[in-house]
């Protein structure tokens, strides 16, 4: 009796060969996947920082025209009078700007998160409006994960 096809032994040997190849490729594959996750996170953070810098430029333009800051933000195709026309990138959520006054005069602060990175917060402030977490330097967006101690030598939570 002649039969066509593979025997059970041949199937088992083939399965073992595939398993050995997968086992050898797994460390390389997992390193590549973690690198991909890190680059994706970096892109989301860069988009949040860029949006906050765009907000600063829009607020300063508004201030130059009206000598005051505003908390009214809209994302419209044609500019709307009396509001900031700022459109955050897809997935970015802007909280603010929140107006504040200090000895230096009027100012504002804002924070931004991304729906893909719920544990990362970016913040910015202008004119001594009180630095929101995690902003440290006026006009410079900074992003951090929760759990950062705030000490100058602790950069474990900082995202560049």
How confident is the model over 70-91, as pLDDT tens digits?
888 888 777 777 788 888 888 8
**Pairing between β-strand 92-102 and β-strand 84-85 as defined by DSSP bridges:** unpaired
pLDDT for the residue numbered 3: 66
CA-closest candidate to residue 140, choices 120, 121, 123, 158: 123
pLDDT-derived band at 129, boundaries 50, 70, 90: low
Residue 129: CB partners within 8 Å, gap ≥ 6? 98, 99, 100, 101, 102, 107, 108, 109
Q: How many Å apart are CA 13 and CA 82, to the nearest integer?
A: 74
* Average pLDDT over every residue of 16-22: 86
- Asked if 56 contacts 69 with a C-beta cutoff of 8 angstroms, the reply is no
Question: Percent of the chain, pLDDT > 70?
Answer: 78
CA atoms within 13 A on the CB side of 11: 4
Q: Is the pTM of the predicted complex or chain greater than 0.85?
A: no
């Amino acid at each position: 009796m002649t039969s066509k096809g593979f025997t059970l032994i041949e199937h088992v040997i083939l399965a073992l060969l595939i398993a050995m190849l997968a086992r050898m490729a797994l460390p390389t594959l997992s390193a590549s996947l973690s690198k991909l996750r890190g680059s994706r996170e970096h892109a989301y953070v860069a988009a949040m920082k860029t949006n906050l810098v765009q907000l600063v430029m829009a607020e300063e333009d508004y201030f130059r025209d009206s000598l005051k800051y505003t908390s009214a933000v809209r994302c419209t195709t044609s500019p709307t009078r009396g509001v900031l026309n700022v459109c955050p990138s897809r997935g970015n959520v802007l909280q603010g700007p929140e107006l504040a006054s200090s000895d230096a005069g009027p100012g504002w602060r804002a924070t931004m998160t991304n729906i893909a990175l719920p544990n990362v917060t970016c913040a910015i402030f202008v004119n001594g409006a009180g630095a929101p977490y995690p902003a440290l330097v006026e006009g410079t967006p900074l992003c951090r994960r929760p759990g950062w101690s705030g000490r100058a030598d602790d950069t474990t939570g900082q995202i560049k």
